[in-house]
Amino acid sequence: MIKSLMKKLVAAASAISYLLLPVKALAASPSPDIIIKTPEVGFANLGDFVNNFLTLAFAVALLVVLIMLIWGAFEWITSGGDKEAVGKARNRIINALIGLAVLAVAFALARLAGQFTGLNIMEIAVPRPPSPT
């Protein structure tokens, strides 16, 4: 029993020390030749808007799924063995996983529909008012 406790303590200490040690970043230095352009107000085409909207929608949905999973796990842990509370927590976790599956299928269908129809929604041009200068 003491050996297993020591093994757990050594594993925890090594994991903590690994996370606390600084790590050298091997990043490239910025080139002075690169000029960063500030984006104009609005979207150049409908595809950019749809792409940004879908990215935001999927990110929010994933965040909600994560919160529901954590909430269900917390309910399960704090249920104290109560059958009704455990069942409620299990249902919350199952519903979150079903939501994750529906989200994955929706993402796959959106990508697949764009490839099968040949309609590249990223290139639909929308007129934009001239920028004030």
What secondary structure does DSSP assign to 49-78, as a single string?
HHHHHHHHHHHHHHHHHHHHHHHHHHHHHT
Structural domain range at position 93: 39-119
Q: Per the structure, how many domains does the chain have?
A: 1
Residue 17 lies in a domain: no
- Could you read off the pLDDT of 4-54 as tens digits, one per residue? 767 777 777 776 666 666 666 565 665 656 565 555 666 666 766 777 777
Considering the domain boundaries, does residue 111 fall inside one? yes
pLDDT per position as a tens digit, 105-127:
887 887 787 777 765 555 555 56
Q: Do the domain assignments include residue 82? A: yes
For residues 99 and 67, is the Cβ–Cβ distance under 8 A?
no
Write phi, then psi, for 22 (nearest 5 degrees): -70, 150
- Report residue 96's pLDDT band, with 50, 70 and 90 as the boundaries: very high
pTM for the full model? Answer: 0.53
Answer whether residue 75 is part of any domain: yes
Whether 46 maps to a domain, the answer reads yes
What is the rounded distance in angstroms from the CA atom of residue 49 to the CA atom of residue 34?
A: 26
Residue type, 19: L
